[in-house]
Amino acid sequence: MSRIVIQKFGGTSVENADAMQRAIEIVKRHGIKRGIRPLVVLSACAGVTNLLIRIGELSLLGKIDQAHKSISDLDHRHFGILHDLHLSLRSEQEASLHLRYIWRELRTLVRGVELLGELTPKMKDKLLSAGERASTAIFSQALREDLSEKDITVYPYDAREFFLTDSDFGLARPQVGEITKQMKLIGKKLAAGGVGVTQGFIGANKRGETTTIGRGGSDFSATIMGVALSAKEIQIWTDVAGIYTCDPRIVPQAYAQPLISFQDASTMAFFGAKVLHPETIDPAVQAGIPVRVLSSKDPERKGTTILTQPPDGVIVAGIAIKRNIVLAKAVSNEMVPQSTTLSVIFDSLQDKKVIPLASSIAFDDVLFAMEPHEKYSELHQQIDRIATLQFFPKRAMLTIVGQGLLNNPGIAARLFSSIRHCNCEMISYGGASNAINIVIPDDEVENAAKSIHKEFF
Ligand code: ASP
Ligand code: MG
């Protein structure tokens, strides 16, 4: 039985001193238990990664003064947080030293970009790493000071020393085998009663060069670390209390599902529910580690626990919504259906690297739902010789998700009767047995989502 939990805090959960203080309380109440110790994984403070990207762009444009001004803004913001935490002089000095080092390095990088007139992906990753390094520099001191009363040691770990990735800067893939080896020592320190703090999102390749794993990657980092340490559970602390039955901005009655299966959670995410990225969940699924999505603003709420198997009795897990998608329709030019038409259409999709969200096929006529993407008009080149291709923008896709869909009769009847006033332009079921997709005009999405929600929840 593992004694380690991963506690990942997103950008808004560490955005200021209050948020950091809440996170510390959460570490104490939901991470540290008898015989259980957390590894805390942090994002950059909210908005910082975007500002760092901007700093890179400004330097590339030669707007160096503005770039330096933005670094000063970062400096003020982080020192403001540090100050508001009211730490002891010693802790404050240690964190300041660390922060100053990070800003110095940033300023050097900015000069480098200016001189070279280029911002390579490698330089950009180094630049972006400042955000997570700065948030952890502050947080680890604050946590250290707080836990010293309980005689618990806090170990700050630089993710670049153990989170090994390939060299695909900007979208580097973690090397789970290597990471597992490198994290053995961390596991030992936690088993001996310590608490770890480290960065999500960043890592290093085997030459020790800083890498990042893609925007929003901290959840993925946390999952990989959980797998490497065979954690008991992975807690994702964010600003929403779990995976909702529907987007609460569209359907105010939506609520957080207490339990959901991995498969339904990733299907929800794939079809538009924004809480977790599906690839985030995958390594934990494989390892059978439960992932909990919790709200740092409301930590006593149960949130959602994502399980390997579907919970008993839940037929429909939720309704995912994707707005402003494009519907593409290819109608064969031949009177008699041709077996070659489909292959031409699918080949051209492959050629343009387009993966449809869902599709519906009748004979050799095809309807696809797709993300709006500039390449789509290029599909004309290949498809036009065999079929007439038309695009319909401003559509929305509603997806009813649930592993219970397959074996429970009557769901489709309830679904369609709940939206009988809606003009349904595409229906797709079966490709994913836990998802029924319907495409409707985007301006009908609110009414439709509310009606479906009322029917099922
Ligand atoms: N700070 C990074 C980002 O904003 C990673 C993360 O927060 O997950 O993309
Ligand atoms: Mg995030």
Indicate which atom in ligand 1 lies nearest the CA of residue 221.
Answer: 8
pLDDT at 373 over 80: no
Query: Helix, strand, or coil here: 192?
Result: coil
Instruction: Name which residue leads in pLDDT, 257 or 314.
Output: 257
Q: What percent of the chain has pLDDT over 70?
A: 99
**Confidence (pLDDT) at 374:** 65
Q: Which residues touch 317 (CB under 8 Å, ≥6 apart)?
A: 245, 257, 260, 261, 264, 265, 268, 310, 401, 402, 403, 434
* Probe target for ligand 1 pocket from 13, 45, 49, with the most ligand atoms within 8 Å of CB: 49
Q: How confident is the model at residue 418 (pLDDT cuts 50, 70, 90)?
A: very high
Ligand nearest to the CA of 45: 1
Q: Which residues touch 45 (CB under 8 Å, ≥6 apart)?
A: 11, 14, 15, 16, 77, 78, 81, 131, 134, 135
CATH of domain 318-456: 3.30.2130.10
pLDDT tens-place string over residues 154-190: 999 999 999 999 999 999 999 999 999 999 999 999 9
- With a 6 Å cutoff on the Cβ, whether 242 touches ligand 1 is no
pLDDT at 21 over 80: yes
pLDDT at 254 over 90: yes
> Measured in angstroms, how far is the CA atom of residue 12 from the centroid of ligand 1?
10
The overall average pLDDT reported for the chain is 94
Nearest CA to ligand 1 atom 6: 216
pLDDT tens-place string over residues 286-342: 898 999 999 999 999 999 999 888 888 889 999 999 999 999 999 988 888 888 888
pLDDT tens-place string over residues 205-253: 999 999 999 999 999 999 999 999 999 999 999 988 899 999 999 999 9
Buried b (16+ CB within 10 A) or exposed e, 225-256: bbbbbebbbbbbbbbbbbbbbbbeebbeebeb
- With a 6 Å cutoff on the Cβ, whether 310 touches ligand 1 is no
- With a 6 Å cutoff on the Cβ, whether 200 touches ligand 1 is yes
Query: Helix, strand, or coil here: 343?
Result: helix
- With a 6 Å cutoff on the Cβ, whether 74 touches ligand 1 is no
**Domain residue ranges of the chain, discontinuous segments joined by +:** 4-239, 318-456
- With a 6 Å cutoff on the Cβ, whether 13 touches ligand 1 is no
Cβ contact 306:245 at 8 Å? no
Alpha-carbon gap, residue 247 to 271, rounded angstroms = 12
CATH class of the structural domain 4-239: alpha beta
Report pTM.
Answer: 0.85
> Measured in angstroms, how far is the CA atom of residue 366 from the centroid of ligand 2?
37
Q: Are strands 291-295 and 304-307 parallel, antiparallel or unpaired?
A: antiparallel
**Alpha-carbon distance values, 258 to 236, 251, 254, 317, 350 (Å):** 14, 18, 12, 10, 39
Cβ contact 194:153 at 8 Å? yes
- With a 6 Å cutoff on the Cβ, whether 47 touches ligand 1 is no
pLDDT at 70 over 90: yes
